[in-house]
Amino acid sequence: MLREAAREMLERRLIPFWLALRDDERGGFYGYMGHDLAVDKAAEKGCILNSRILWFFSRCAKDLRRGDCLGAADHAYRFLRDRFVDREFGGVYWSVDAAGRPLDDSKHTYCQSFAVYALAAYYETTGNREALDLARSLFRVIQERCRDAGGYLEAFDRQFRPVSNEKLSENGVMASRTMNTLLHVFEGCAGLYQAAPDPAVERAMREILTIYREKVYNPALKRQEVFFDGDYRSLIDLTSYGHDIESSWLMDWGCDLLGDGELSTQIHAIDNALAEKVYGTAFRGCSVANECERGTVDATRVWWVQAEAVLGFVNRWEKKPSDTHFLNAAEDVFRHIQTVQTDPCSGEWFWAVDEQGRPDPSRPMVSPWKCPYHNGRMCLELIRRDPHA
């Protein structure tokens, strides 16, 4: 059921929606569409959005063998290469204006990592060595300019001088390190390692897995801590259900690429605990709540949390198929996505709905953060894994 439904979601809804946002006049893809489906052609174009679009169309072109998606990936790649890369100081800008001129020229580790992830996927699809060289150069930027002896730092100005981390800090704290950035540095490294194995990338992945196991994962609470000071002291009592369920399959995937059975056993145990905790505490009414801060649950159903919940529950079921309640949960969340989270007019998903299934009209359909990466990846992974009831 899930495989066929995912293919239909991807080919009939998500791909057409995002193909229609291509900006053939100024390059890249339009950066903003409101809840009312009105496109702002003058809006900024974020590097995270463009990178995620590049990753999405690269994977669709490869997995579905679609020429239109390959053309869209080529288009996104050229815009990333020509407009976001800082040829003077290295790295990629946070955003450019609609015409492709630097707008926010700050450098963020999270943003560099998504560019690596996207370029690696594009290289896997096309064999374009220029893209691989650029991915490797950005990986070196992360390793040489975005970290210290303890791990990865967050925010920098154009010349990689540290600045405060407003972009990846929330819930009233200002974090020196975040679980979110660490997760996606790992994701970028794993994508690069899958595309072109390299000892330096492997070392980085192993170091991140050590931090994940020893600093980020809280075994007493069976969750990841979210925001840290420089010494990995947690800054807030916060459980991010979306990141926990995303990590539960994503860290499995990346770790298993290394072919280290002992390490995979350790990481799988953590990831099983994360998935089981989310299932037991956040899966309610056929969908998954957003987060829990200081004991108060935010029951908003956010688009990316639902996508990652489907994959996390499928991943946990695959490791022990007799635990059919995880597959049942994945199917329940997918039905929620089909009937509640998806906009019947556009085919794209609403950013958020409340517990009664009412969309939040203040949230856009496309923005620097609203993209085809989570929901598109969910569909692609379900097609690849072929889960069945």
Measure the CA–CA gap between 108 and 146, rounded to whole angstroms: 8
Run of H or E including 240: strand 238-240
Domain that holds residue 241: 2-385
pLDDT in tens, 64-96: 999 999 999 999 999 999 999 999 999 999 999
| Contact criterion met (CB below 8 Å) for 116 and 142 | yes
Measure the CA–CA gap between 7 and 15, rounded to whole angstroms: 11
pLDDT mean across residues, the chain: 97
pTM exceeding the 0.95 threshold for the entire prediction: yes
* Phi-psi group of 323: left, alpha or beta (phi > 0 → left; psi -120 to 50 → alpha; rest → beta): beta
Q: Is the pLDDT of residue 389 over 70?
A: no
The count of structural domains within the chain is 1
Q: What would the two tokens of residue 381 be?
A: 């992974």
pLDDT in tens, 344-362: 999 999 999 999 999 999 9
Q: Is the pLDDT of residue 202 over 60?
A: yes
Q: Which amino acid is at 297?
A: V
| Contact criterion met (CB below 8 Å) for 291 and 241 | yes
CATH of residue 55? 1.50.10.10
Q: Is the pLDDT of residue 259 over 90?
A: yes
Least confident of 158-162, 310-314, 344-348, 385-389: 385-389
Measure the CA–CA gap between 231 and 201, rounded to whole angstroms: 24
Burial class (CB in 10 A: 0-12, 13-18, 19+), 265: exposed
Q: Is the pLDDT of residue 33 over 80?
A: yes
